[in-house]
Structure 1
Amino acid sequence: MFKVNLVPEIKGPKPPVNPARSDLRNCVTFPNPKTLRHQFDCHALGNFTGNDPAWTLESDREPNGDWWNNVRQHKCNWGHGDGGSSS
């Protein structure tokens, strides 16, 4: 398993997600790029409270195209039995 921990230092409005995700892809290679995208998007777009100080992206987490479903419950760490699905 590969694990990437990010601590975003965003002051003011959030930057556009696509360029930030592209920068990450240039630095990190995951065996399954879909899971990297889904986890990054969940942290970047699903962090409604702004209280997520560190983002952990894990290579062995299954892709989840509907990460927004129950995001408050799984907090971008979906799996079996935690309110998220793996698809």
Structure 2
Amino acid sequence: WIADHNVLGSVLLPGTGLVELALRAGEEVGCEVLEELTLQAPLVLPDSRGLQLQVLVGASFEDGSRTVSIHSRPEGDPEAP
């Protein structure tokens, strides 16, 4: 079904997939509500190779909220940011 999310010839991970990643990471640290999601760039899924994802949950603020960031790079490319 993800391959059907094709935009201008590129397969993108739907925003709901990023929401699921953020919510699951938040659950691990007892922060189960996602208040805001800002997408800086679409997550393009490569045709022929894997993708490594890193989900980082920040330290707790005074109000108990946390930041979460999701980073990706092509699998097997240690030089990629």
Fold match (TM-score > 0.5): no
Q: What range is the shorter-chain TM-score in?
A: 0.3 to 0.5
- Report the structure number with the largest CA radius of gyration: 2
Normalising by structure 2, report the TM-score.
0.35
Q: Relative CO higher for 1 or 2, CA cutoff 8 Å, sep ≥ 6?
A: 1
Normalising by structure 1, report the TM-score.
0.33
